[in-house]
Amino acid sequence: MTAITDVPRTVRRPQSGNRVLRWVRANLFSSIPNVIITLVLFAVLAKGVISFVQWGIANAVWLTPPNDSSACRAARGVGACWAVIPEKYRFILFGTYPFDEQWRPPLAVLLFIALFYVSTRRAWWRRELVYVWIAALALISVLMWGGVFGLSFVSRDRWGGLPVTLILATFGLAFGFPLGILVALGRRSKLPAIRSLCVLYVELIRGVPLVSLLFMASVMFPLFMPGGFNIDKLLRAQIAIILFAGAYLAEVIRGGLQAVPRGQYEAADALGLSYWRKQHLIILPQAIRHVIPPLVNTFIAFFKDTSLVLIIGIFDLLTTAKTAIIDPAWQQFSVEVYIFIAAIYFAFCFAMSRYSRSLEAQTTGR
């Protein structure tokens, strides 16, 4: 009888020591070139952080008397002038909205944020969420326009700042997403007419920049309307953003549809499901799960692209910030204003990014 010998196996010893120190040693100091690069980068980063702390915190001017920038001018080149933010924040955030009524735009922004938060809770992913959206958007419209319930009417020309940015981004993505789903399904249709129209729409919209669509919506679109009929400029810009978002989202969703195994389609057909029930219950949930990262990346890009409406005279957040520093007394401190605006954009974009990561982890189980 042949004796069976055990095959020698390599036994991995449990690594001791702090996990962070092991990671640092393995990723930052694993070789001499890595050590050199790490030290150089640390030196550059430390220099930048120290300089920013000295400029933005230690030597900064935080408050000044109303409309008095003399202290900021004295500290120019040495410290930041954050006093420009409390001096101009009303115009930056709310534009030329009437001063006595400026409690309404912040309330509208809070309603938007609450609506976003509720929409991210999976427990609310029911039919009632649609009614919540309708009620919230109606309440936001009442707050911004007024004219009812004792609120004074404020024309759209007086809107500006953060509410306009949220309106353009929210409605653009809320209507662009279902449009993108329909176009993506149309591009995979077996009917040549529907498939050709969807391909033409996607290629035409993606072949031109958003700036040109906004310009055409603002200048060219009214020329095709009957005499005396005019559409609000904000609505025209909103339609252009919806069409632009729909074309890009359609391609992202089409990639997800192609990633769904063919067996899923065959199983749905075997169950006798209709086309729309098959897409709703089986295909689209899997397709969207596959493309959560690129979808959120597109959402973030369109949220920032709303700043392009400045070319047609709509005062979004970035436009009101640029207009706020036209004042000669504060014109020299545009860097501080742009940092403030960047922090607002970062807060919204970072929240979307973090939510997408948690949603992807929940849906994939990783």
User: Would you say residue 30 has pLDDT above 90?
Assistant: no
| Structure confidence at residue 17 (pLDDT) | 53
Numbers of helices and strands, H then E, in the chain: 16, 0
Supply 160's token pair: 């500006």
Cα distances (angstroms) measured from residue 218 to each of 129, 225, 312, 358: 33, 12, 7, 39
Give the pLDDT confidence of 202-223 residue by residue, as tens digits: 999 988 888 888 888 887 777 7
pLDDT band at 365 (very low <50, low <70, confident <90, very high): low
DSSP assignment letter at 10: P
- Which one has a higher pLDDT value, 14 or 236? 236
Range name among 3-12, 15-24, 59-68, 279-288 with the lowest pLDDT average:
3-12
| Mean pLDDT taken over the chain | 84
User: Would you say residue 9 has pLDDT above 70?
Assistant: no
Compute the distance between CA of residue 149 and CA of residue 326 in angstroms, rounded to an integer.
37
Residue 56's CB is within 10 A of a number of other CB atoms, namely 15
Q: What residue type is 366 in one-letter code? A: R
User: Could you tell me if 180 and 249 are in contact, meaning their C-beta atoms sit under 8 angstroms apart?
Assistant: yes
User: Would you say residue 65 has pLDDT above 80?
Assistant: yes
Q: pTM of the entire structure?
A: 0.82
| Structure confidence at residue 366 (pLDDT) | 56
Supply 29's token pair: 């100091």
User: Would you say residue 191 has pLDDT above 90?
Assistant: no
Q: What is the mean pLDDT of residues 185-189?
A: 88
| Structure confidence at residue 346 (pLDDT) | 93
Q: What is the mean pLDDT of residues 124-151?
A: 86
User: Could you tell me if 84 and 64 are in contact, meaning their C-beta atoms sit under 8 angstroms apart?
Assistant: no
| Structure confidence at residue 45 (pLDDT) | 93
| Structure confidence at residue 7 (pLDDT) | 47
